[in-house]
């Protein structure tokens, strides 16, 4: 594959291969020397037009763990502040013999645009509300590590679905791997067009969570909201917060997930995020081997 923009063109088998490689990479990271020469000679450029902690640093570490050279571009300190376009920025960086661009941008479709501007490989690290495929892969990896397989799992995803690229990517990926997804939000934050094979929508939190193997809370993306989506944050908290009361409706050993960053005590009860059933930090940890696997498959291919 030339790119990972979303999961279009990625078969179930190829996605399973990436998850298998992620397991191998995870084992590498458990060794005293956490480094392999797999990407020696390759240059990877992080191009981030939006802030990030987890995704940017885990891609950077993933590339370094495989001995690649890494460039990091942040828009605030770049010549885009002088008016340089996205296309000119990518063409300029490509001349430095970049083999792979990792792109985060606030505009939906920006990673597709970058893919048109370059012959290098492109990974979407989150574009607007459209897609965040490596987050969904690390979520799938986390579920697979805990349950052995995604086949037959029921996953509730609760929160600001409208603005969530994580929800869209998980709704695309998890059913491909055999899980069922229930998206839950107030009607204003629940786009009907997301209903699909293996994906159901509900505004009822109890219905979403009942019998779920995992409950993933989504951040309320207040920075992307105009007024009018919610009557008040207090009402949202009272009706949709994922908390210990909510989890009583899920399976006994249901996992608590959140892609981060969290608004503690808003979309998720702070204590629940730290509960022993929470895999929120495990999701972060799994980000590195999963991103190593993605880079490996794009740049080297599976041997």
Contacts of 229 (CB under 8 A, 6+ apart): 162, 186, 188, 189
The DSSP secondary structure of 14-68, one letter per residue, reads: HHHHHHHHHHHHHHHHTSSS----TTTT-EEEEEESS--SHHHHHHHHHHHHTT-
9 lines the binding site for ligand CP (CB under 6 A): no
Prior bond to 261 cis, omega within 30?
yes
Q: Is 133 in the site for ligand CP (CB under 6 A)?
A: no
Site for ligand CP in 40-69 (CB under 6 A): 52-55
- Position 231 contacts ligand CP (CB under 6 A): no
String marking each residue 245-274 x if it binds ligand CP according to CB under 6 A: --------------xxx-------------
CB of 276 to ligand CP, least distance (A): 22
Residues touching ligand CP: how many (CB under 6 A)?
A: 9
Give yes or no for a contact between 145 and 212, defined as CB atoms under 8 angstroms apart: no
Closest by CA to 291, choosing from 73, 66, 120, 67, is 66
Answer positive or negative: Cα dihedral of 156, 106, 290, 77: negative
Task: Name which of 126 and 186 has its Cβ closer to ligand CP.
Answer: 126
Return the number of the residue (17 or 52) whose C-beta is nearest ligand CP: 52
Residues 133/104, Cβ–Cβ less than 8 Å? no
Q: Please state, in angstroms and rounded to a whole number, the distance separating the CA atoms of residues 104 and 45.
A: 11
**169 near ligand CP, judged by CB under 6 A:** no
| Alpha-carbon span 170 to 216, nearest angstrom | 10
Pairing state of beta strands 121-127 and 3-4?
A: parallel
Instruction: Specify the residue, 202 or 221, whose C-beta has the smaller distance to ligand CP.
Output: 221
Pairing between β-strand 43-48 and β-strand 3-4 as defined by DSSP bridges:
unpaired
Least separation in angstroms between residue 169's CB and ligand CP is 10
CB of 53 to ligand CP, least distance (A): 4
Among 46, 115, 135, 241, binds ligand CP (CB under 6 A): 135
Binding characters for ligand CP, 100-129, by CB under 6 A (x = yes): --------------------------x---
Rounded to an integer, what is the distance from CA 214 to the centroid of its chain?
Answer: 16
Structure tokens at 104: 């985060």
Closest approach of Cβ 71 to ligand CP, in Å? Answer: 18
* Shortest spacing between CB 75 and ligand CP, in angstroms: 15
Q: Minimum distance from CB of 236 to ligand CP (Å)?
A: 20
CB closer to ligand CP out of 38 and 100: 100
Binding site for ligand CP (CB under 6 A): 52-55, 126, 135, 259-261
């Amino acid at each position: 594959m030339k790119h990972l923009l979303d999961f279009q063109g990625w078969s179930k088998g190829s996605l399973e291969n990436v998850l298998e490689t992620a397991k191998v990479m995870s084992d590498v990271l458990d060794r005293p020397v956490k480094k392999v020469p797999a990407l020696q000679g390759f240059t990877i450029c992080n191009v981030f037009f939006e802030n990030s902690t987890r995704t940017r640093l885990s891609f950077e570490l993933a590339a370094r763990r495989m001995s690649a050279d890494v460039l990091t571009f942040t828009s605030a300190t770049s010549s885009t502040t002088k008016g340089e376009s996205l296309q000119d920025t990518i063409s300029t960086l490509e001349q430095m013999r970049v083999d792979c661009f990792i792109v985060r941008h606030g505009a939906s479709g920006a990673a597709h645009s970058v893919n048109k501007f370059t012959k290098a490989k492109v990974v979407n690290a989150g574009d607007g509300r459209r897609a965040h495929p490596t987050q969904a892969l690390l979520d799938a990896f986390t579920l697979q590590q805990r349950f052995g397989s995604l086949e037959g799992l029921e996953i509730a995803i609760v929160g600001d679905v409208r603005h969530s690229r994580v929800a869209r990517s998980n709704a695309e990926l998890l059913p491909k791997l055999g899980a069922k997804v229930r998206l839950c939000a107030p009607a204003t934050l629940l786009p009907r067009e997301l209903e699909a094979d293996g994906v159901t929508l509900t505004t009822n939190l109890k219905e979403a969570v009942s019998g779920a193997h995992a409950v993933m809370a989504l951040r309320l993306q207040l920075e992307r909201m105009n007024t009018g989506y919610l009557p008040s944050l207090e009402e949202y908290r009272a009706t949709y917060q994922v908390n210990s009361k909510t989890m009583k409706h899920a399976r006994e050993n249901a996992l608590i997930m959140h892609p981060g960053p969290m608004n503690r005590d808003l979309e998720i009860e702070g204590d629940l995020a730290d509960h022993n059933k929470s895999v929120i930090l495990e999701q972060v940890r799994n980000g590195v081997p999963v991103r190593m696997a993605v880079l490996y498959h794009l740049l080297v291919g599976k041997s």
